[in-house]
Structure 1
Amino acid sequence: MAGLMSARINPIHIASNRHYSNLSPLISPCLTKNPNKLSFGIIKPHEPLLVMAASPKSPNTTSPTRFDNTLPTKEVLQIWKNADAVCFDVDSTVCLDEGIDELAEFCGAGKAVAEWTARAMSGSVPFEDALAARLSLFNPSLSQVNDFLHKRPPRISPGIAELIMELKAKKSDVYLISGGFRQMIKPVALQLGIPPENIFANRLLFGTSGEFLGFDINEPTSRSGGKATAVRNIREVHKYKALVMIGDGATDLEARQPGGADLFICYGGVQLREAVAAKADCVGVPQLPSWVSSGHI
C-alpha cells in the first residue's frame, strides 16, 4: 500500500528473572556436549498431575486442574527427537508478554484489550474479529509503537533462548508463528538468531503521517486458522519430515492437523489455558522438584 511506513526496530535484552506465574516449560533444556542430543525435561509422576492453574480473567485466583498428558509418551519423545522444524508461538510462549496487551496498556486501553485477548486465545471468537476489535480500542500510531518498543522491549521467557540454541545445534529449523505484529517480533527474532524469513506474523499499517490504518489482511495469521495455514505452507515448501508446534493458545492447537504439525506441545510457562492443554499431545506444567528429573533423547 502506497505511503505505508514501518516501525523502527530497537534491540532488546533477555530478561530471565521476571515471571507472570510460577509455571515453567515442560521442555527444560539442559545444554549437552553432544549438539545432536537434545535434552528434555521429563515429568515422572505415575498418575495425572494436579495443576494449580491461574485463571486468565483473574491472575490472583487459582483452580485445581488435573491433566493426564503431562508425561510425554514414547511417540511424543520420538517425534521431538526427529523434528527437523519447530514452530514457536511468540506471545506468552517465546515472550512473557502478550504484545498487543502490552501495547494497549501503553496506549491507555490495557484492561479492555486484555479481556478480548483472553476470549481470542480460548477460541470463543474468530481471531480476525478479536484482532480488529482490540486494535479499534486504541488505534496505535507509528510514533506510539516506536516509543513502546524503546521503553518496553519484549521479555524473553526463561529457557527459550537456550532451547532454540539447542534446536539450531541439532540442525532443526526454528520459526516464529504469531498473531502479533512483525514490528514487535523482528527484534525478538534478531535477539534469538532467527532469520526474518522465518517469521510469520501480522503487520500494522500506517499512513504517511504515521496514523494507524489497520492491519494487513493478506497475512495468513490475521484470521482464524491462519497459523495452521502458515505451518502447512512451511511444511509443503521445505518438505520437513517431522514438525512440532509449541504454543499456549487455541490458534496454536489448530496447527496440529494432517499436513501441518505432527506434534503440539502446550506451553504452560506463562499462561495455562485448560481447554487447549486438554487437547495437546503434551503439556508444559509446573516442574515440582520431587517430581522432575532431566532426561535425554
Structure 2
Amino acid sequence: MQITAYVVHIHRADTAPALTTGALIATVSHLGTVVDSRPLTGPQVHDDATHAPGIGYTGVRLAVEDGDVEALRSAVAAALAQAGVPAPEAWGESARTGESVAVVPASLMQAPTKLLVMDVDSTLIQQEVIEMLAAHAGREAEVAAVTEAAMRGELDFAQSLHARVEALAGLDASVIDAVRERILLSPGARDLVRTLRSGGHRIGVVSGGFIQILRPLADELGLDFAVANDLEIADGKLTGRVAGEVVDRAAKERYLRQWAEELGLPLEATIAAGDGANDLDMVRASGLGVAYCAKQALASEADARIDLPRLDVLGVYAGL
C-alpha cells in the first residue's frame, strides 16, 4: 500500500460540520482510494493559567493511495464551497466557520523528522508587539493601521516597518521588558511545541518583530532557531531605527531553506505557518504551508488553513 496523501478534515467540536465525513470520502474516492480513516478529537485548550478554556475540535483523517495531491486539493476545495463554507476571498469577520480540509502529502506526514517554521506576532503569540510598543508612545492606532495594511499585502513590508519603528523613537528601552511581560502565547502553542520536541522534530521562528522580545521566549520554549529584527538602542533609548537586515518575506523563505539545509531535511519535510502577506514566500516554499487565522492574502495561497484560534491543530495537519 503506497499512500500518496492524507486528507485532514477539522471543524469546531461544538458545531455540526457543513461537509460530512461521508461526503468527503465520496469526494476523494473519485481521485484515489481511501484505504484508512482515523477520527480526530481535540480537548479544549488548557495551555496555562493565563488562558480561558478554548474550543475543542473534531474531524477525520483519511489515507489516500494512488491519488494526486493537487487534484485532491482542488476537489476538496470545491466540496467545501458546495457545502457552503466560505472561501478566503469571501471572508468577513463573521464568515470564518472554523471548518477546513487540508491535503497533506505523504512525504511530509510520514517524514521521520520535520521542521516547523512559524511567524511570531499573531501566530505563535496573540499580539502584535510593535503595536504594544507604540502604545507607550501614544501612537498605537496609527501603527496598527499600518500593520494591518502591510499584512494584507497593500504596503511594502520593509518600508512599513521603518515607518512604524520611527514612531518608537525616544522611548525608554525599559518598555521592551514591560511589553515582554504582557506577551500571551496563542492557545495550544505550548502543547504544539511540546509535541514536536517530544517527537524529535525541530522548530524555528522567524519574525518581522523584534529579537529583544523573541529571544527570551524562544529560549523558554526550547526552540531550535529564532530570527527577528533588531531594535536599535542608544543611551538607553529606542532610536526609531532597526539595526541590520530587515526580516521581510524574502528573508523568511531564505531562513526556511537555510535551516532545512542545516538539518539535512528536504523541503518536503517542512511546514511553514503564518498569518499575513509577509509569510507568503515561506508558505509557498514549504512542504505544507499553513495559514493560521490569517488575512485573505495568505489564506487563499496556503495549502491548509486553521481558522480556529487553536495553534495545536497544526500538529494534526502534520500527523503528530
Structure 2 residue identity aligned to 1:17: H
Structure 2 residue identity aligned to 1:71: V
2:270 is aligned, of 226, 240, 243, to 243
1:147 maps to 178
Q: Deviations over 1:172-225 (max 9, x none)?
A: 110111111011112221331224xx1011111111343425112325x1x342
Distance 1:162 1:147, change over 3 A: closer
Distance 1:80 1:117, change over 3 A: farther
Distance 1:128 1:15, change over 3 A: farther
1:225 is aligned, of 241, 247, 250, to 250
Q: Is the 8 A contact 1:154 1:188 kept in 2?
A: no
Shift of residue 237 of structure 1?
2.6
Q: Is the 8 A contact 1:26 1:283 kept in 2?
A: no
1:157 maps to 186
SS class of match (1:50) = coil
**CA distance in 1 between partners of 2:147 and 2:187 (Å):** 23
Please, what is the CA RMSD of the aligned residues?
Answer: 3.5
**CA distance in 1 between partners of 2:104 and 2:174 (Å):** 50
Distance 1:110 1:213, change over 3 A: closer
**CA distance in 2 between partners of 1:248 and 1:215 (Å):** 23
Structure 2 residue identity aligned to 1:173: R
Alignment of 1:132-281 (within 5 A): 132-139=162-169, 140-149=171-180, 152-195=181-224, 198-212=225-239, 214-219=241-246, 221=247, 223-241=248-266, 242-257=269-284, 260-268=285-293, 272-281=294-303
**CA distance in 2 between partners of 1:24 and 1:141 (Å):** 42
Q: Which structure has more strand as a fraction of its residues?
A: 2
Q: Deviations over 1:64-119 (max 9, x none)?
A: 3689x9212142x6524425211111111110111111111233111000001111
**CA distance in 1 between partners of 2:273 and 2:265 (Å):** 16
Spell out structure 1 runs of 4+ moving beyond 4 A: 13-16, 22-27, 294-297
Q: Which segments of 5 or more consecutive residues in structure 2 lack a partner in the other structure? A: 1-46, 60-75, 310-315
Aligned residues: 243
Greater relative CO, 1 or 2 (CA 8 Å, sep 6+): 1
Return the TM-score normalized by structure 1: 0.70
**CA distance in 2 between partners of 1:256 and 1:158 (Å):** 21
Structure 1 residue identity aligned to 2:263: H
Shift of residue 141 of structure 1?
3.3
Q: Which structure has more helix as a fraction of its residues?
A: 2
Structure 2 residue identity aligned to 1:284: I
**CA distance in 1 between partners of 2:162 and 2:56 (Å):** 31
The answer to whether the aligner puts 1:84 opposite 2:114 as a matched pair is yes
Q: Is the 8 A contact 2:117 2:206 kept in 1?
A: yes
Q: Which segments of 5 or more consecutive residues in structure 1 lack a partner in the other structure? A: 1-12, 28-42, 288-293
Q: Deviations over 1:129-179 (max 9, x none)?
A: 010011112324313323333xx4210111111111111111111011111
Distance 1:23 1:138, change over 3 A: farther
1:50 is aligned, of 77, 81, 85, to 85
**CA distance in 2 between partners of 1:23 and 1:216 (Å):** 41
**CA distance in 1 between partners of 2:164 and 2:193 (Å):** 31
Shift of residue 47 of structure 1?
2.7
Structure 1 residue identity aligned to 2:93: T
Q: Is the 8 A contact 1:16 1:157 kept in 2?
A: no
**CA distance in 1 between partners of 2:184 and 2:122 (Å):** 10
